[in-house]
Amino acid sequence: MQATQHAGHAGHDDDSHSHGPTGLMRWITTTNHKDIGTMYLWFSFVMFLVGGAMSLVIRAELLSPGLQYVSPEFYNQMLTLHALIMVFGAIMPAFVGFANWMIPLMIGAPDMAFARMNNWSFWLLPPAAILLTSSIFVPGGAAGTGWTLYPPLSIQMGMGMDMAIFAVHILGMSSIMGSINIITTILNMRAPGMTLMKMPMFCWTWLVTAFLLIASMPILAGAVTMLLTDRHFGTSFFNAAGGGDPVLFQHIFWFFGHPEVYIIALPAFGVVSHVIPAFSRKHLFGYTSMVYAIAAIGLISFFVWAHHMYVTGIPLTGQLYFMYATMLIAIPTGVKVFNWVTTMWRGSLSFETPMLFALGFLVLFTIGGLTGLVLAMTAVDIQLQDTYYVVAHFHYVMVAGALFSAYAGLYFWLPKWTGHMYNEGLGKLHFWLSMIFFNIAFFPQHFLGLAGMPRRIPDYAQQFADFNQISTIGSFGFGISQLLVLVVVFKAIKGGAKAEARPWDGARGLEWTVPSPAPHHTFEDPPAFDPAEAHA
Amino acid sequence: MNPDFSAAGATTAHLLPRATGNRRIVAGLLVVIVGSLVFVAVQPRLYKAFCEWTGLYDIDRAERVAESLLPGRPVALEFDANSHGNGLRFRPETTSLTANTGEIVHVVYRVENTRNTTVIGQAVPSYGPQHAGGYVKKLDCFCFKQQTFAPHEVREMPVVFVLDKKLPEDVNTVTLSYTFFEVPAGSVKSPATPAENQT
């Protein structure tokens, strides 16, 4: 710990509680970035369990061929809500939670730029989540279109679809407000001396992510609004019978949807870029190239959307362009993967739980990226479109990518949040169970997809039975082992070894210069930025 | 310069004064958000214009497919059959009917070989009026290939066709006439197929 830095504001940091209301009202009215970050993280974990339970309904149904437990309609609703809840309710809020907690600490700001709006961004989420989940109980059930909400099916669904549309509107507003906050905080509230190119990598990834959100969320809002008017107000944007074109919806949706993929992936990259250097006891290799790679990924993500649409009848010219553009993304992504590997090269490595999750991320995300390249090839994708190969691909990048990275961040910063070290044994058990069961659940799905098993269908041909059984066993194992996180976090909140201000000897950054647990108010006077804490 | 940044000796040159700076950044971000909303609002028109300009995607395909499903106008159809003294008794099961253009028409012809020997024949169509022939789109016809008839065989053979919607307006009756010619034994093109639909 930098004694000189800390001495400057130790006197102001003594209050570890807020001065506002107590009890429930404290959480409803709070404008403190740490409180809001905590609420984001708890919210995302609850939604993760809800979405996870839905995925277990799906996997239970797929345990054996034929229809066992649920009707095909309900199965479709489960897979739709599972996806929407995991993307918008679990992964995105989890990383916004990290951003709220850590960005002000990392850049030496007292709070987010617009603290009251920050409160709003969070409290929009629970109503959206209630709208989305309670739509199961309305007549006709929840939306059963898949998370892509393709017309004509989404124009024909019952009122569950309207609830999903409004939930998406609210979630979009929340994301946009959160992004405005993050960009403004990062651009204008950094500690003196911290230039953009000395900024922690997590802040860089969030800066680009927030720009992607701001540019793409209005697109999704527009698309679902057009769906809504097609459904109720007699327009025909996507209705062929009235002169519209359902393919237009796919273009608009994926123009949002592909940046969305990187909205999820980039903050995950950011977390890993903190964890790997800390446990390699080296600086991040190639800081500048990492920054440019993030920016390049963000930019290119807006120009590859139609690789989700190779079989919609787009012309050969389009297929070729989107194939090459998609493959182009592998270059900056490859730069990042190689930089992480090179960071570890000749480092003094140790394998605490955050590092294990970061390494798990690195290996599995690379596999997911590779299958992404396979799917980018038009000729191959025409065969694999809408098969379980695609399901395996995006779960490797979403679960083993984003979720593992979130766990790496959780274990990495948990001592800072709670003031206690977590139980290392339980953490490692959690990692290994997750790693093993994840692969049991999702690796066989590659084979199922290659053999032609279609996704989003509750029944399948006999020859797919064995791999589906393996996959279901893996998914239940994975789901149950996630409950370990609750145990680990509760134990760390209640007690455990006292965490030092800098519990990881290799970790750099301003967040480690404040005591653990981080006091309620930090950096009320901006700290002088010590180059020793810089990431580059 | 900026009361919020009071750390001695540190430079805040890369940052704007907090309140004005924040406002300026938000104004810029709002422009991006509004820009995105406008962009998505003009998509339906932009998409149509782009498709028409480049010709990359046929945006009116659905409309044309829908049009092709509309029923056409009714036309009287007459069926006729002749054989050229080759021992084949040849006649249509239906001699006339009314069908809409664009509709799939299915009629059956009946052939009986009156000889004691195998006959190989080929039916040749003719149309009345002659120029209507181009608008009779056959999906399946016994006239597509040579037919082999066993001695005294009786067979029913289908013709399936669609009258094109582009049929000239002045044509209200179309006659479809077939004549069976015997194929001389030396000029049989394909291996004779044995009778399958014996009745």
Contacts of B18 in chain A (CB under 8 A): 188-189
> DSSP secondary structure string, A250-317?
HHHHHHHHHHHHHHHHHHHHHHHHHHHHHHHTSPPTTHHHHHHHHHHHHHHGGG-GGGG-GGGT--HH
Q: Are A80 and A142 in contact (CB under 8 A)?
A: yes
**Beta strand spans in B37-131 (E):** 74-83, 88-92, 96-100, 104-113, 119-128
Alpha-carbon distance of A485 to A411, in angstroms, equals: 10
Integer distance in angstroms from the first to the last C-alpha of chain A? 19
Sort strands B74-83 and B96-100 into parallel, antiparallel or unpaired.
antiparallel
Q: What is the pLDDT of residue A240?
A: 81
Q: What is the pLDDT of residue B186?
A: 66
Is the pLDDT score of B196 beyond 50? no
Q: What is the pLDDT of residue A91?
A: 96
Nearest residue, CB atoms, B15 vs list A190, A214, A221: A190
pLDDT tens readout for residues A215-243: 999 999 999 999 999 999 999 999 887 88
Alpha-carbon distance of A504 to A424, in angstroms, equals: 13
The verdict on whether A26 is a catalytic residue reads no
User: How many beta-carbon pairs under 8 angstroms link A with B?
Assistant: 102
Q: Are A444 and A467 in contact (CB under 8 A)?
A: yes
Q: What is the pLDDT of residue A4?
A: 39
SS3 of residue B175 by DSSP? strand
Annotated catalytic residue, options A30, A44, A55, A273: A273
With bands split at pLDDT 50, 70 and 90, how would you rate the model's confidence at B12? low
Cα angle at A530 between A343 and B22, to 5 degrees?
100
Q: What is the pLDDT of residue B198?
A: 39
Structural tokens at position A118: 């920050």
Any idea where the domains of chain A sit in the sequence?
3-533
Residues in chain A: 536
Is the pLDDT score of B4 beyond 50? no
Regions of chain A short of the pLDDT cut 70: 1-20, 536
Which 8-state DSSP code applies to residue B84?
A: -
Annotated catalytic residue, options A455, A456, A491, A520: A455
Is the pLDDT score of B197 beyond 70? no
Q: What is the pLDDT of residue B183?
A: 83
Is the pLDDT score of B23 beyond 80? yes
Q: Which of A218, A199, A202 is nearest to A259 (CA)?
A: A218
Which residues lie across from A454 on neighbouring strands?
A: A387
Sort strands B154-163 and B119-128 into parallel, antiparallel or unpaired.
unpaired
Alpha-carbon distance of A109 to A106, in angstroms, equals: 8
What is the pTM for the complete model shown? Answer: 0.80
Does A529 contact B44 at a Cβ distance shorter than 8 Å?
A: no
Does A526 contact B5 at a Cβ distance shorter than 8 Å?
A: yes
With bands split at pLDDT 50, 70 and 90, how would you rate the model's confidence at B189? low
Alpha-carbon distance of A368 to A521, in angstroms, equals: 40
Q: What is the pLDDT of residue A18?
A: 52
* Residues A228-264 as b or e (16 or more Cβ within 10 Å = b): bebbeeebbbbbbeeebbbbbbbbbbbbbbbbbbbbb
pLDDT tens readout for residues B69-96: 777 889 999 999 988 777 888 899 999 9
With bands split at pLDDT 50, 70 and 90, how would you rate the model's confidence at B174? very high
Q: What residue type is A410 in one-letter code? A: L
Contacts of B16 in chain A (CB under 8 A): 188
Which 8-state DSSP code applies to residue A454?
A: B
pLDDT tens readout for residues B119-129: 888 899 999 89
With bands split at pLDDT 50, 70 and 90, how would you rate the model's confidence at B188? low
The verdict on whether A262 is a catalytic residue reads yes
Alpha-carbon distance of A443 to A474, in angstroms, equals: 10
Alpha-carbon distance of A48 to A42, in angstroms, equals: 10
Contacts of A223 in chain B (CB under 8 A): 40
Which of A4, A114, A177, A187 to mutate against chain B (most B CBs within 10 Å)?
A187
Does A526 contact B39 at a Cβ distance shorter than 8 Å?
A: no
SS3 of residue B108 by DSSP? strand
A526 exposed, middle or buried (CB, 10 Å; 0-12, 13-18, 19+)?
buried
CATH classification number, A3-533, choose in 3.40.50.10540, 1.20.210.10, 3.20.20.70, 3.40.50.150: 1.20.210.10
Sort strands B154-163 and B104-113 into parallel, antiparallel or unpaired.
antiparallel
| Domains, chain B | 18-66 (no CATH), 74-187 (2.60.370.10)
Is the pLDDT score of B191 beyond 80? no
pLDDT tens readout for residues A118-143: 999 999 999 999 999 999 999 999 99
Q: Which of A178, A129, A188, A138 is nearest to A160 (CA)?
A: A138
Alpha-carbon distance of A255 to A257, in angstroms, equals: 6
Those residues whose C-beta lies under 8 Å from the C-beta of residue A448, and which sit 6 or more positions away, are A387, A388, A389, A392, A464, A467, A468, A471
Q: What is the pLDDT of residue B184?
A: 77
With bands split at pLDDT 50, 70 and 90, how would you rate the model's confidence at B3? very low
pLDDT tens readout for residues B129-160: 988 888 999 998 988 888 888 899 999 999 99
Contacts of A247 in chain B (CB under 8 A): 57
Alpha-carbon distance of A53 to A333, in angstroms, equals: 32
Q: Which of A438, A443, A456 is nearest to A58 (CA)?
A: A456
ipTM value greater than 0.95: no
With bands split at pLDDT 50, 70 and 90, how would you rate the model's confidence at B7? very low
Q: What is the pLDDT of residue B103?
A: 87
Alpha-carbon distance of A2 to A402, in angstroms, equals: 32
Q: What is the pLDDT of residue A218?
A: 96
Exposure on the CB side of residue A339, measured as CA atoms within 13 A: 26
Q: Which of residues 39-68 of A touch B (CB under 8 A)?
A: none
Tell me whether A259 touches chain B (CB under 8 Å).
Answer: no
> DSSP secondary structure string, A351-416?
--HHHHHHHHHHHHHHHHHHHHHHHHSHHHHHHHTTBHHHHHHHHHHIIIIIIHHHHHHHHHHHHH
Q: Where are the alpha helices (DSSP H) in chain B?
A: 18-41, 43-54, 61-68
pLDDT tens readout for residues B30-61: 999 999 999 999 998 998 888 888 877 777 77
Tell me whether A191 touches chain B (CB under 8 Å).
Answer: yes
Tell me whether A226 touches chain B (CB under 8 Å).
Answer: yes
Does A525 contact B7 at a Cβ distance shorter than 8 Å?
A: yes
